[in-house]
Amino acid sequence: MGEARVRVGLIGLGNNMLSHVGRLVQMPEVEIVGGCDPVTEMHDRVRDRYPALAGIPTFATHEELLREVAPEAVIISTPHAFHCRQTIDALESGAHVLVEKPLVNSVREAHEVIRARDASGKVVMVSYQRHTQAPYLKIKELIDTGRIGDVEMVVALQNQMWLNGMRRRIAAGTVPWRVQAHLSGGGQINDSGSHLVDILLHVTGLEPAHVYAAQQAFDAGVDINSAVTVRFTSGAQASLSIVGNAPGIGASVWEDVTIYGSTGAIYYRMMGQPGFEPVVELRRIGESEPADMGPLPEGTTPDQHFVDVIRGRTANLAPAECGLRVMQLTEAAWKSAEIGAAVEVASLA
């Protein structure tokens, strides 16, 4: 007999969860056993969108879902402020957790999640999809195998037409939760910017030590543009520009990143190429042409990777520690922008 299907519960049934569901329903080894959302219209929408889920039970709260369905695993896609409690409750109920980014909204909460995970013995994975995508797997491979020597400097730009989208929704009569700090934790650096911060920390293995930041909020009440300087524990440094008030195509994110090492550099660009597929190039100091990087590895999705980790087939590429590192840099940036001085990451609770 084959292995039993992974029984998955859905916490939050908004637009982002629908993307997860679209992948999950194509995975024969997954059974979606229930969902929850405080907005009851979302219950009918997920059933209408995916007829295979027509019979699943739905609830108003995650507590009801965990109690009534007892899923083996859950996926959490809710406003950021709810991630910590929902993750810990799921772990304590005996479920593995795949949680949308960011893991939580503070360093303190990240440590709480890690303690709960360790006590439960369950999997916690942050849905940073780049960890499982071919270009970023290649970049990490190049750095890990010493193709650019020791990482010394990172220069990274991300821009998105984020603020304009929020203003349009406000003008239409809806205040998005993403610009309500008590729900989102912050603005662009904690939203799309979280992906940039995360992947740079992940592929380089660097840990932030000191952070200085200046931020612009305009009329939004949360950070929109961030200029961040980072000193890492290794002595490497970074200059990050996260721009939420920029031209663009819908919600598409454009990025321009260079990772400089002692013997070479990796250039990563996603600046409007067809299909918005990133371009990666390796160059070595003293050589005039790009170096051969070898073939790209095979990528996967966070949902498939989550199941593979649960079943013991592979190591977790996006554990809760990745969420902790992101929050160390992010929380330090918020505090630095507030006080106008550099912040030592070790000082954060």
CATH architecture of 131-298+318-347: 2-Layer Sandwich (3.30)
Give mean pLDDT, residues 101-119: 98
pLDDT tens per residue across span 1-47: 467 999 999 999 999 999 999 999 999 999 999 999 999 999 999 99
Where exactly does CATH 3.30.360.10 map onto the chain?
131-298+318-347
201 torsion bin: left (phi>0), alpha (psi -120 to 50), beta (else): alpha
Q: Which residue has the higher pLDDT, 2 or 160?
A: 160
Neighbours of 44 (CB within 10 A): 11
Cβ partners under 8 Å of residue 241, min gap 6: 156, 157, 158, 225, 226, 227, 228
Q: Give the span between the Cα atoms of 222 and 193, in whole angstroms.
A: 13
Which tokens go with 93? Answer: 């109920």
pLDDT at 274: 61
pLDDT tens per residue across span 225-241: 999 999 999 999 999 99
Give mean pLDDT, residues 113-123: 98
Where exactly does CATH 3.40.50.720 map onto the chain?
6-129
pLDDT at 1: 47
Q: Is CATH 3.90.650.10 the right assignment for the domain spanning 6-129?
A: no
